[in-house]
């Protein structure tokens, strides 16, 4: 008993107990967070949605992504990507891919809205991930001024300040954001498709994402009241166009003058 009592009074005993307490607390927090995320991602889906989605997946997606979406040499694992990722990729026609390449192109969707919902339900059931955004985040009633500021800080370096898109390295590109639904814009921010980084709620809050969607929809609705936007590629391209056009007019006028003199 005396030896046990001495061990209890050892200076490292307090540190050991503190470390154990931190490990237990952290583990419980991680488990609780995972459970909450999983519930958030699957609450809008029924068991029938999941079952039908599994059938669709096995018939159309398992060739590349493997049975159970575990991945293969032709496609990554989809466990944990969430419903939002599937809704974006399938809803915009990027998946199934038309051909292998550095980037999946947007094209007419192969699956209808109900089938996309079912595929999202199945993948969401495999692991926690970003959920499809709620309707109040897509009402386009956010603060467009704040959204514009957030867009210029976080997105304009790739998508252009006017959201006209831009080229990246190795044959990749940031697409133009005109005629893209607010839901797909939001889903792209939370899932990071293609070469896009993920903007978690820590980086950009849900309200901030709502503001960005509002800003993009506002500039799309405004159009180009000043005339032709020349692709909205910025002052360098516009200046080059004016320089070439102006130089062409000067040359043509010079030729006309000299022909009249002769």
Among residues 111, 124, 136, 98, which one has the least CA distance to residue 213?
136
Confidence category of residue 245, pLDDT binned at 50, 70, 90: confident
The yes-or-no verdict on residue 3 having pLDDT over 60 is: no
Pairing assessment for the beta strands 166-167 and 173-174 based on DSSP bridges: antiparallel
**Tens-place pLDDT, residues 179-232:** 999 999 999 999 999 889 999 999 999 999 999 999 999 999 887 666 666 666
The answer to whether 10 is a known ligand-binding residue is no
| Predicted TM-score (pTM) of this structure | 0.73
User: With 70 as the cut, is the pLDDT of residue 1 above it?
Assistant: no
Residue 234 or residue 141, greater confidence = 141
Residue 156 has pLDDT above 90, yes or no: yes
Q: How far is CA 235 from the centre of its chain?
A: 28
pLDDT at 261: 62
What is the CATH code for 12-132?
Answer: 1.10.760
Alpha helices in the chain (DSSP H): 2-8, 11-42, 47-60, 62-65, 82-91, 113-126, 144-154, 156-159, 182-191, 206-222, 235-261
Residue 4 has pLDDT above 70, yes or no: no
pLDDT digits (tens, 9 = 90+) for 24-61: 777 666 655 554 444 444 447 999 999 999 999 999 99
Given this model, what pLDDT does residue 41 score? 43
Confidence of residue 99 (pLDDT cuts 50, 70, 90): confident
State yes or no: 117 annotated in a binding site: no
Q: Do domains 12-132 and 133-223 have the same CATH topology?
A: yes
Q: Show me where the domains of the chain are located.
A: 12-132, 133-223
Cβ atoms of 56 and 68 within 8 Å: the answer is no
The whole-chain average pLDDT of the chain stands at 85
Q: What is the pLDDT of residue 101?
A: 82
| pLDDT for residue 14 | 66
Residue 238 has pLDDT above 80, yes or no: no
Does residue 130 surpass a pLDDT of 70?
A: yes
- Domain topology for 133-223: Cytochrome Bc1 Complex; Chain D, domain 2 (1.10.760)
DSSP 176: P
> Which range, 10-14, 31-35, 120-124, 258-262, is most confident?
120-124
**Which of 55 and 15 is assigned the larger pLDDT?**
55
Is 64 flagged in the annotation as binding? yes
At 233, the pLDDT band (50, 70, 90 cuts) reads low
Burial (CB count <10 Å: 0-12, 13-18, 19+), residue 10: exposed
Q: Does the annotation place 65 within a ligand binding site?
A: yes
Between 253 and 91, name the one with better pLDDT.
Answer: 91
């Amino acid at each position: 008993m005396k030896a046990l009592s001495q061990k209890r009074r050892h200076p490292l005993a307090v540190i050991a107990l503190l470390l154990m307490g931190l490990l237990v607390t952290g583990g419980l927090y991680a488990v609780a967070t995972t459970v909450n995320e999983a519930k958030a991602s699957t609450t809008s889906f029924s068991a029938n949605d999941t079952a039908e989605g599994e059938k669709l997946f096995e018939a159309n997606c398992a060739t590349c992504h493997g049975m159970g979406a575990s991945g293969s040499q032709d496609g990554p694992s989809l466990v944990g990507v969430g419903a939002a990722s599937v809704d974006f990729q399938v809803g915009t026609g990027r998946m199934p891919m038309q051909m292998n390449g550095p980037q999946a192109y947007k094209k007419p969707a192969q699956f209808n809205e109900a089938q996309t919902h079912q595929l999202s339900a199945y993948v969401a059931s495999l692991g926690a991930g970003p959920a499809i955004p709620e309707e109040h985040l897509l009402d386009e009633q956010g603060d467009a001024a704040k959204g514009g500021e957030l867009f210029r800080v976080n997105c304009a370096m790739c998508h252009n300040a006017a959201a006209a898109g831009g080229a990246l390295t190795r044959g990749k590109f940031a697409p133009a954001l005109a005629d893209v639904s607010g839901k797909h814009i939001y889903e792209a921010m939370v899932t990071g498709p293609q070469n896009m980084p993920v903007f978690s709620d820590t980086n950009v809050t849900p309200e901030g994402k709502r503001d960005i969607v509002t800003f993009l929809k506002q500039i799309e609705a405004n159009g180009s009241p000043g005339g032709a936007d020349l692709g909205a590629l910025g002052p360098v391209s516009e200046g080059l166009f004016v320089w070439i056009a102006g130089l062409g007019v000067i040359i043509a006028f010079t030729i006309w003058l000299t022909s009249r003199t002769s």
